[in-house]
Structure 1
Amino acid sequence: MTSCFGACMQAQAPLVSFPATALVVPEPLGVVLVFSCWNLPLGLALEPVSGALAAGNVVVVKPSELAPSTAAFLAANIPRYLDPKAVKVILGGPEVGEQLMEHRWDKVLFTGSANVGRLILTKAAKHLTPVALELGSKCPCIVDQLDSKRDRQIAVNRIAGAKWSVCAGQACVAIDYILVEEKFAPILIELLKSTVKRFTATPECMAKILNTKHFQRLSNFLDDDRVARSVVHGGSVNQKTLTIEPTILLNPPLDSDIMTEEIFGPLLPIITVKKIEDTIKFVTSMQKPLAIYAFTKNEKLKHRIINETSSGSITFNDATVQYVVEGLPFGGVGQSGFGQYHGKYSFELFSNKKAVFKRSFLIEFMFRYPPWDDSKIGMLRHVFNTNYILLLLGLLGLRR
């Protein structure tokens, strides 16, 4: 079933087809499957579900088993407020996800790790199911020299807040590492140290690491002696409470795991460069990230970052807040994913843009039909070149 509901878009019809109307009409894809993740378990489930429903689809949502309380909440409450024939919640672990992917779907949205994303794509290929992937990445944060002490402190507040105050860095849009000029690095580090102490004065200010598996993965980063020697703040871990102190590292080896894998935790490497412009080369040498952050007043640098890098988003002078801007699409590029949602983009993600072209019987051009001769071919050339003046002269017999 197709209905515009104000979402139909008029397209330009070629003049040669006059009178005609061209429309782009969105239609539901059908039955879609949404895999949500554990770190923002309500938002990353309900937002795509609402977009899929708005587009007219039937939705099955599989919440992450790693957030069992939220998953149970969704399973208990979605049927109370939404038509159970339109939305169904399926609970379970990886084996349930694998069983779901054995079925044919009209669209799958997966939010999670790149490794699982590859498995989803492999399963989906069996039925040629279109897939949107929202994956993680190493999101860089470029910090330019800021002359004003106030600007420096605001920048550090926003960096520390984005890295350590929400999910303890366990978010796909979290800052993964910082790029800064050598001469500005000591100032930045001291500001980060004092700010993180204020922000995490009590234990409840920091989120725990998700589970033992993820805790061990993060601890292994620090077990590398070369990485451990780069720690300039923090570094303590507590397996019993699954907590890791906000940790700042200065120039850990670029070939170490902490600089080649997504961190997804409260560890923050700082990499120094000679000139701030060198940060662009560094960013482009890495996989395309979900987000790039840059704190700068340099308009030329901003322009270069926009035009010379590729990422799902760029945010200047703040971090992670782009996720809550409904007017902007949210999604990655390359290894950080593909497919975008948020606001109208959620509607578009779960819609088929059907092309509709309406013509009348008023005008008929016989030069479009065989048998071909030089005159007809000449007319067709005028059409393809959109040279309607010569076409009109030809139709009137005033030009061969």
Structure 2
Amino acid sequence: MTLQYTSPSAIPKIVADLRASFRTHHTHSLEFRKGQLRALQHGLEEFHDEFAVAFEADLHRSSDMDVSKVEHTIQGTLDKLDEMTADQETSGLNEFDKSFVHLSPLGTVLVIGAWNFPVLLTLGPLIGALASGNTCVVKPSEVSEHSSAALTRMLVKFMDPTVVQVVNGGPEETTVLLKERFDHIFYTGNTLVGKIVMEAASKHLTPVTLELGGKCPAFITENTDIAAAAQRIAYWKTWNTGQVCLAVDYVLCPKNLQEALIKNVIGTWHELFGKDFRNSDSYGRIVSKKQFDRISKLLVAAEEQNKIVFGGKSEAGNLYVEPTIVTKVTERDELMQSELFAPILPIITYETFDEALNIINGQEHPLSVNLFSDNQDQINRVLKETRSGAVNVNDIAASVTNESLPFGGVGHSGMGSYHGKYSIETFSHPRSVMIRNQAHL
């Protein structure tokens, strides 16, 4: 079933109706919020098989991780919602006063999802919006059209239409949507569109959360367990065919460890997918012809410079790009000019720790710096001397799986965060309440 776009002329009324609905205050009740979250749970259960088919069509991969992660997030939110939304008492001006911070829902919010994880990165923010008592417009990505069509059908069937409405479309529909006034906009995607979203939001002084990406490095040091590091790097580089904001975008490696790193990365890929990547049931595809063409240009440039040491093959007919390793990479190479979002692994060798830090700091702030080291001084220097959304030590992107930590970027990798209690904070206003005792004024 194809994705049906929303008529641009219908969008203003959709937003106006949700704003009017919020003003009835029926979303404020915790029991009502929990009811919406449970409805979302039931929808995921019923649409499990439909999502499986849609993900195979869009990305040539399973939907299990996306769906199970969202289910886990919903249950975790239900279990802790009372605690996460409770008033936070503070000290008054005297013993007779009462003061506290009350988390108030923001109002009507907009969630713009992403195509690489079309369920997880759309419903993840929606869970926070609903749990905080907001009404919400959901805009799934038109790129993952089969998954977005299934997601639309599920939300229409299971969500209260006075609370959640879906708008589908491309740039035209999104442009119309962004002209409307929202109380918060949550966008997941690339930096270019992030700037457009932020500019549109500024006209209404609307706060934004931007979950973007960037060039996340894997930083190999002399005391790294190369086999363990290579296994994690290889997995994240080819998970969802490299179309992951937290995937390793490049590796910083001491020259004497490069050969061992390459050998172990290739070995891990063969363990994951066998010798024939193209015919592996577990190796995905690029999401669209547009993205395939972009990646192909990068491969051609690397091949012309004789820098590909493994892989490099591609087939436009089925949007296949082979896992690829590129060496002799410098900061000036085209591979280092923007986020790859592809199964291409550039390796930059370095001589000193200071040189490696300078390379990281020569890029825009990434979503994550992934350091492989047990040296506390090196860990401290990365924490002190670099900027990133997160730091992972001896792993890749482990922080994103920990719901007790905020997930978000800094600078060009984004602003704001969510997950766990941080989702509630993102979609709520911490309202200061001061109650004076008249008898003791």
2:227/2:261 contact within 8 Å kept: no
Partner of residue 169, structure 1: 242
Task: Give the CA deviation at 1:273.
Answer: 0.9
Alignment of 1:89-168 (within 5 A): 89-146=166-223, 151-164=225-238, 166-168=239-241
Name which of 264, 287, 296 aligns with 1:191: 264
1:215 and 1:342 map into 2 onto residues whose CA distance is 31
**What TM-score comes out, normalization by structure 2 length?**
0.77
Partner of residue 360, structure 2: 283
1:277/1:301 contact within 8 Å kept: no
Q: Give the secondary structure class of the aligned counterpart of 2:179.
A: coil
Task: Give the CA deviation at 1:323.
Answer: 1.9
Partner of residue 348, structure 2: 271
1:347 and 1:31 map into 2 onto residues whose CA distance is 15
Task: Give the CA deviation at 1:139.
Answer: 0.5
CA offsets, 1:102-143, max 9 Å, x none? 111111101111111111112112211111111120001101
Quick one: structure 1 residues 227 and 287, their matched pair in 2 at CA, closer, same or farther if it must change by over 3 Å? farther
Name which of 103, 106, 114 aligns with 1:37: 114
Partner of residue 69, structure 2: none
Amino acid at match of 1:88: Q
**Which of the two has greater helix per residue?**
2
Name which of 125, 140, 148 aligns with 1:71: 148
Task: Give the CA deviation at 1:52.
Answer: 0.4
Amino acid at match of 1:236: K
Amino acid at match of 1:114: T
Point out where structure 1 has 5 or more consecutive residues left out of the alignment.
Answer: 365-400
Task: Give the CA deviation at 1:260.
Answer: 1.2
1:111 and 1:227 map into 2 onto residues whose CA distance is 34
CA offsets, 1:228-274, max 9 Å, x none? 42211111222122111111111323212211111110111111111
Task: Give the CA deviation at 1:360.
Answer: 2.1
1:352 and 1:284 map into 2 onto residues whose CA distance is 34
Partner of residue 10, structure 1: 89
Task: Give the CA deviation at 1:156.
Answer: 1.2
Task: Give the CA deviation at 1:27.
Answer: 0.3
Alignment of 1:294-309 (within 5 A): 294-309=371-386
Partner of residue 135, structure 2: 58
Query: Is the counterpart of residue 243 in structure 1 residue 317 in structure 2?
Result: no
Task: Give the CA deviation at 1:277.
Answer: 4.4
1:139 and 1:13 map into 2 onto residues whose CA distance is 45
Task: Give the CA deviation at 1:179.
Answer: 0.6
2:118/2:141 contact within 8 Å kept: yes
Amino acid at match of 1:139: C
1:3 and 1:280 map into 2 onto residues whose CA distance is 49
Structure ID, larger Rg:
1
Amino acid at match of 1:321: A
1:294/1:316 contact within 8 Å kept: yes
2:303 and 2:159 map into 1 onto residues whose CA distance is 54
- After TM superposition, where is structure 1 displaced by more than 3 Å over at least 4 residues in a row? 1-6, 225-228, 361-364
Deviates more, 1:52-61 or 1:182-191: 182-191
Cα RMSD after superposing both structures: 1.9
Task: Give the CA deviation at 1:320.
Answer: 2.6
Q: Give the secondary structure class of the aligned counterpart of 1:240.
A: helix
Partner of residue 295, structure 2: 218
Point out where structure 2 has 5 or more consecutive residues left out of the alignment.
Answer: 1-24, 31-81
Quick one: structure 1 residues 309 and 227, their matched pair in 2 at CA, closer, same or farther if it must change by over 3 Å? farther
Task: Give the CA deviation at 1:152.
Answer: 2.6
Query: Is the counterpart of residue 179 in structure 1 residue 252 in structure 2?
Result: yes
2:29 and 2:367 map into 1 onto residues whose CA distance is 34
Partner of residue 392, structure 1: none
Name which of 301, 308, 311 aligns with 1:234: 311
Aligned residues: 358
1:227/1:252 contact within 8 Å kept: no
Partner of residue 53, structure 2: none
